[in-house]
Amino acid sequence: MMRGLTLILAAVLGLQPSLADGLTPKAKRELAAKNGGVYNDPEYEPATTSRMFRVSTGPSSLPPGQVASRIKDIAQLQSSRDNQLVGYGLVIGLAGSGDSLRNSPFTEQSIRAMLENLGIATEGGSARAKNVAAVIVTANMPPYVQSGARIDI
């Protein structure tokens, strides 16, 4: 109970837990900078960490010797694949060449669901539309297609 209260108090006051030697890595770096020395944190080795992202991109606001780069400029994807799309819906306005609702109960069910979503009550009567058909549309979307691009269906 007391330990929990101590941790909550430390979190509220922004206190950092002390390490075994009494200083946090940040405090060690600040102390070393004040005294003109350099503190090398064994968990962070800048020579190996920054080497992965060194790319010459021109002037920068970074310190000398450090260059900013974007991951998309230096990364390359190993593989890519098409994405398969499947859609189900209704085609309306077929001038008498639509589905026979007696042979296609899912078409009538889809019409009822659509009308109910629009706030139209469909209980009771039977639909006799001949200008509606249920359709399934499939497409392969190539990799790297951007938003708004047209694809073949």
pLDDT 10s digits, 37-56:
666 665 555 555 444 445 55
pLDDT at 19: 44
Rounded Cα distance, 141 and 150, in Å: 9
φ and ψ at 76, to 5 degrees? Answer: -140, 130
pTM over the 0.85 mark: no
Domain ranges of the chain: 21-74, 83-141
pLDDT at 35: 74
pLDDT band per the 50, 70, 90 thresholds, residue 20? very low
CB contact set of 3 (below 8 Å; sequence gap of 6+):
none
Query: What is the longest distance spanned by two Cα atoms in the chain?
Result: 90
φ and ψ at 100, to 5 degrees? Answer: -80, 115
